[in-house]
Structure 1
Amino acid sequence: MEARSVARCLRLRPTSSLYTTQPIIFRGQNALRYFSTSNPLLQTPPARQDQPTSTTPASNSNSADFDRILNQLNLNNTNRNATEGSQSSDPLSLSRAVSMAPETDSYKQPLRRVELKLGPTLGRQVHVEPEKGVDLTTALRVLQGNIATNKVRAQWHAQKFHVRRGQMRKNLRMERWRKLFKFSFKETVNKIQRMRAQGW
């Protein structure tokens, strides 16, 4: 127990600042010796000067190999640089590439226009085309038929005067009721005629 407690109490002596600052002083002296040219005795030996020269080719070769590997791996930048270089050298490269590209049907021929088959008649215009058999009389007759189908006269009469909202709802209700009554009356008459034909 005593030895263990003594071992725990033992600590290293604090190092003085001399040991930490002495290498810096030596480095400064070495630098002064290396850069001083007045006294030839204080110059460093030539062996130290040869060491960096011997290591620089190896480091240069390693960096060159590393750069070459990076250039091979970075294909996008190389392709981009190549395209930028080609574009800067030849401003008409894009037009030449387009002209030399194979002509496709979608590029050469325009798309065929599709005629839309719409249900309702759009507009009230009828073209007079004698070469197609539509003269002025036929065009006027077609125009009158379109006006009757679209109920242009009824729309003009309904929009002639202002009608308040409540009266508009009543008018629509009466119109729907008349239409429904007319349909029901016709269907009832047809049913009675069918029953009479069967002998009832």
Structure 2
Amino acid sequence: MCTGKCSRFIGLALLPMAFICIIANVLLIFPNGETKWTDHITMQVWLMAGVGGAGLFMLCPSCNAIRAGGKGCCGKGCCGNRCRMLRSMISSIFGGLGSFYCLAVSGTALNDGPLCNFNNQTGKASDWVRYNYLFNQSSWDLCIQPPNIVLWHIVLFSMLLGLGAIEFVLCAIQIVNGLMGIMCGDCRKKGNVSKLSRAQF
């Protein structure tokens, strides 16, 4: 696979993952799909690792990678797509930092657990605590409010953790691919590039 095709593949893979991360983080703000629990969500949710780090922060490297593997090159003539590869490589470095941020926040959130109420009779602030729950599934039912918060917390933060890891790997691959594209250029034939350039303009 040439550097241009690889860039396009990575960019098209990163784009939907970024939107999924944004949606997952927004859902975490509304436990059980309800707005009344927003005062009782953890700090990791408010850090917006899915919206920022693995979401909006990932759109730039995604779009740059798609452009690097797209039609044409840098203006008239052909520089082997090196300019777009350079932009893609630089933006992938920042994308890797954003995905690493999402990994760190999601891992911490899964380790610490959700904020939940064990005693729904008083509803005092002191009743809302976090507990070590991840490897003790029998204790999940002890968390009364918000309903199903433990499963909600695990599924969504696991999605962020997994997608953040995949994004990090793809950004690392694109950094190497972009560097190869800068040094060697795009492997597409000049005739094909010229046709694509004329089609673009």
Same fold (TM > 0.5)? no
TM-score, length basis structure 2: 0.19
> Which of these two proteins has the greater Rg computed from alpha carbons?
1
TM-score, length basis structure 1: 0.19
Q: Looking at both structures, which has the greater relative contact order when contacts are Cα pairs under 8 Å and sequence separation is at least 6?
A: 2
